[in-house]
Amino acid sequence: MKDLSPVVDFAQPLPVAEGGTGQGTAQAAINALAGVAAAQTGDILQKDGAGNAVFGAPAIPGRTSDLTAIAANAGKAWMRTDLGTATVKMVVQTLSPGVWAAGGNTLTARQTLAGAGTITASVNFGGDNASGNLASTEGYDGLTWSAGGNLITARKALGGAGSSGSALSFGGYAGGANSATERNNGISWSSGGSLILSRWFHAGAGTATAAVAFGGMGGPTTATTEGYNGNTWSSGGNMITARSFLGGVGSSSTALSFGGDGSTATESYNGISWSSGGALPATWSAIAGAGTATAAKAYGGKRANATTATAVAYNGNAWSAAATMATARLYQAGAGTSAAALGCAGSTVESSVYSAATEVYLEGDTYTVKTLTLS
């Protein structure tokens, strides 16, 4: 009888269709069956939606070291492939609520001074203490204060704007309401155009070449606003509520006024007119501030008729509680931003106990590498 069994040629690889791999080595056989030729480096074998085995990018990339804990890596996860067990890690972002910390003391303890700049490059000037009105200027480098050139006119309760290298002082009290404007170049002061209305215990905002002054006492308490272009002052729109002893932050075209004369009022200025904003949580005056019209910090002063260390933050619509300062002070100078503010000098007892203290507020996100628990 004739043998009808198929003839198998073992010298040739058996095709996949006939139950083989079509390859001559074990590694080539694995590659052929897995379809690895179409995969990318780092892909893993996984099941697709139809239940087929396919190569694709891993849901969590593998690494043999941790990513750096920085903002650019926030939310990124990875699997450590060198630890022997499946360990998944992630860079986690945490918002720091911010705290006040002690800075270097000012050279002269005083109140009713003005300030400008940032927490690492600021300037304070003017004010008063038991010796009378002061012309002294001090610069801060983030650690210590150093003496600068004196104001031309010694004044208290003056307005300030600008930066440490280009500051502006305007108004104040020097035997009466004063209209003097002076500009500082980081070394000395020079005269600028006088305010239209002599005033003191007012507020200001902006730069040395684009500033705004508002409120204060120019005889009676005033609501008037003036804008400065680096040479002269011109009239702007009046505040809704006349106030002195108020706080102010922002720029000449987007300013914020808050508190003053035992008021809770907050107003925003667009360079032309004022509009009402969210009220302070309590009556407030002699208050310091830092930031912009939509991200401000207000701190210290007299809250509900008591000297306070309380601080609040403004988001453009409403005020909310912020970290409390270490020392309650009024008539201190403010500088910086809502997230990085500075308060210096002032008085713990009005016109009696003068302070040289500096406090710096700093907030910001922190980034850490966390090990995730898988379930």
Q: In this predicted model, what pLDDT tens digit does every residue of 159-177 receive, in sequence order?
A: 999 999 999 999 999 999 9
In-domain check, residue 19: yes
pLDDT at position 321? 96
Same domain, 279 and 342: yes
In-domain check, residue 108: yes
Quick one: pLDDT band at residue 27, thresholds 50, 70, 90? confident
Same domain, 153 and 216: yes
Task: Write out pLDDT tens, residues 259-271.
Answer: 999 999 999 999 9
Number of domains in the chain: 2
In-domain check, residue 373: no
Same domain, 346 and 238: yes
pLDDT at position 272? 98
In-domain check, residue 95: no
Same domain, 50 and 115: no
When pLDDT is averaged across residues 181-206 and rounded to a whole number, the result is: 98
Residue 49 CB coordination number (10 Å):
6
Quick one: pLDDT band at residue 79, thresholds 50, 70, 90? confident
What is the extent of the structural domain holding 13?
1-59
Same domain, 54 and 151: no
In-domain check, residue 77: no
Q: For the chain, how are helix, strand and coil distributed in percent, rounded to 5?
A: 5, 40, 55
In-domain check, residue 89: no
Same domain, 203 and 344: yes
Integer-rounded Cα Rg, in Å, for the chain is: 33
Quick one: pLDDT band at residue 134, thresholds 50, 70, 90? very high
| Run of H or E residues at 87 | strand 87-102
Quick one: pLDDT band at residue 58, thresholds 50, 70, 90? low
pTM equals 0.76
Same domain, 54 and 120: no
With 90 as the cut, is the pLDDT of residue 21 above it? Answer: no
pLDDT at position 182? 98
pLDDT at position 117? 98
Same domain, 128 and 270: yes
Task: Write out pLDDT tens, residues 302-355.
Answer: 999 999 999 999 999 999 999 999 999 999 999 999 999 999 999 999 989 999
When pLDDT is averaged across residues 62-69 and rounded to a whole number, the result is: 90
Task: Write out pLDDT tens, residues 228-264.
Answer: 999 999 999 999 999 999 999 999 999 999 999 999 9
Identify residue 153 by its one-letter amino acid code.
T
State how far the Cα of 133 lies from the Cα of 111, in Å rounded to an integer: 10
What share of the chain in percent tops pLDDT 90? 71
pLDDT at position 31? 75
Give the residue among 351, 363, 295, 333 at the shortest CA–CA distance from 128.
Answer: 351
| Run of H or E residues at 308 | none
Same domain, 159 and 222: yes
In-domain check, residue 297: yes
Which residues lie across from 233 on neighbouring strands?
A: 228
* Region of poorest pLDDT, from 39-48, 84-93, 255-264: 39-48
- State the chain's mean pLDDT as an integer: 91
Q: How far is residue 25 from each of residues 13, 32, 276, measured CA to CA in Å?
A: 9, 10, 81
SS3 289: strand
